[in-house]
Amino acid sequence: MSTMTTRPGLAPRLTALTKLVELGPGRLEPKLLAEASTLLKRAGERLKLSSEHTVVALAGGTGSGKSSLFNAVSGLELSPTGVRRPTTARTHACVWGLEGAGPLLDWLQIQERHRFTRASALDRGESQLHGLILLDLPDHDSIRALTDNEADRLIGLADLVVWVLDPQKYADASTHRRYVTELAGHDAVTVFALNQADKLSAEELAELVIDLNDLLRREGVEHPTVVPTSATTGRGIDSLKSVVAAAVSRRRAAIQKMEADLHRLEQRVAKSMPVGEALSAPSTVDDARRLGLTDALCDAVGVPAVGEAMENVYAERSMQWVGWPYPRWISKLRPDPVKTLRLQDVGDEIRGITTGTVSAQTAEVVNAVQALADGLSADMHPVWRTSLQHAARSHLKQLPQTLTQELSEVAPRLDHVPGWWWLLKIWQYLLVAAFLLGLGWLVTGLLFAGESPLGFQLLGDTAALPWVGLMMASVLGLGVLSGIAARNFVELGASKERERLEREMRRRVAAVAESSVVEPVERELGRHHAFYTAMRALAG
């Protein structure tokens, strides 16, 4: 037994169908998805079986003379024909060349007692049929067919189907509605045998053939093959054999059947989800949208407001350490500027981040996520648009809390005192001490001119007092200059601290956005792109 070699192009199409079946749940209609799965399974199984045999099924309704035609083609009385109620109960198979056909017949589920072979002297002159497996199917319109789908099953499995029609019921609505309308694109693997031609005159037969051709074309069979036959007189049997022999000798009917089935399925899927411009949709979230989402989420959690508040608190606290002490002491006699500017509340708000009392604004978070999903899915099929929005919102309930927890880890330490604050404070208090020393010297010199109560002649020397005054002015100048310099350093430090805080907060917000929103969205975008790429490959 030799397995079948796929034609170039068929393997990629079957691979594409596999991808569609994988990505289809929740997107394709369940019935269509089930048909795709069945087709994929059937094609895979058929490709593993004999490529040297072609399965040709004779299908037809009750009274069409199908079994008589089967016997006429096989040259043996193999399938029983009824007289009072002509029906076929079970499928019969006649095999030209039995070697390697066993697994294929098992796959077709043909019972052993209904298998026959043409491997004797009777085959002389019929070598062109070697490799043919001819099936006589049960009548598709019999009472038994209502509870037994064997005919439908084998019509789907056969490589080539010969529809046997009789002159009275050739336009039977049940046959055309259930089967013929499904044959669009199957012209190469479908034959119509207009049987019982002996009951018609030449003119009637010619008119009937023309009418049947027109009917089939209207139903989508572009190039119908119609063969008038008569099992009684043998008319057209050789013509039918020639048509079947041509398909058998080419060894391509099975592949053509798969291609036709794939084409029909692809058209139905494309009708449900047209490719159109779907492949022009983004397959990843671009940097601009990532940045926009991060900006929106930063606004939702108040990153700029927290940064500004932190900068104000930092500046105000620092001046309590490095500001020139005299103005600071005087300021205590006035209302507290921190309270005036409500900076105490801001400090409490920043502290609140670490305790979880400050959280992201849920409505703004929802709007940010929705805006991203809407922008990416604007031109998508409604099914994919819904699935993309669902992916974007998959972590939405936890997102505000996740953002809050992340930001709590980077909340500024309001009790932190930089080392240079200590150094500057020591320097300023040294200046204060120097000023107080000079002030004491000046008072002592003015009150006790020429003498010193402590016995130090220098303290009572009035000639030194101008120098003392100059020293005091210098100390005050140094204090003011150091205060101004300290304020400049404080403003610079506060700005840098704000930038550091906002940068770290933004980095963490971007990381949360990436894991909770962008990654699920990109997975769905990848599925969307893979789905429509597979659809294009399925179309060949």
3-state secondary structure string, 25-89? CCCCCHHHHHHHHHHHHHHHHHHHCECCCEEEEEEECCCCCHHHHHHHHHCCCCCCCCCCCCCCC
Contacts of 385 (CB under 8 A, 6+ apart): 377
Return the higher-pLDDT residue of 183 and 101: 101
Alpha helices per DSSP H over 361-518: 362-377, 382-392, 399-408, 419-447, 465-513
The pLDDT score that the predictor gives to residue 88 is: 55
Residue type (1 letter), 387: S
pTM: predicted TM-score of the whole model, two decimal places: 0.74
pLDDT at 518 over 90: yes
Return the higher-pLDDT residue of 329 and 125: 329
Q: How far apart are the first and last CA of the chain?
A: 29
| Angstrom distance (rounded) from CA 498 to CA 310 | 7
Q: What is the mean pLDDT of the chain?
A: 79
Averaged pLDDT, 495-522: 88
The pLDDT score that the predictor gives to residue 338 is: 46
Query: What is the tens place of the pLDDT at every residue in 198-221?
Result: 888 889 889 989 988 888 888 888
Half-sphere exposure of 272 (CA within 13 A, CB side): 19
Among 399, 415, 412, smallest CA distance to 352 is for 412
Return the higher-pLDDT residue of 376 and 184: 376
In the chain, where the domains are located: 52-251, 287-539
pLDDT level of residue 317 (50, 70, 90 thresholds): low
What's the length of the chain?
540
Highest-confidence segment of 99-103, 175-179, 327-331: 99-103
pLDDT level of residue 355 (50, 70, 90 thresholds): very low
Backbone angles phi, psi at 452, to 5 degrees: -120, 130
Query: How many other β-carbons are positioned within 10 Å of the β-carbon of residue 525?
Result: 22
CATH superfamily of 52-251: P-loop containing nucleotide triphosphate hydrolases (3.40.50.300)
CB 116 within 8 A of CB 94: yes
Q: Tokens in use for 336?
A: 């507290």
Among 53, 56, 57, smallest CA distance to 4 is for 53
Query: What is the tens place of the pLDDT at every residue in 121-159?
Result: 445 556 788 999 999 998 766 545 443 588 889 999 999
The pLDDT score that the predictor gives to residue 86 is: 45
The pLDDT score that the predictor gives to residue 383 is: 93
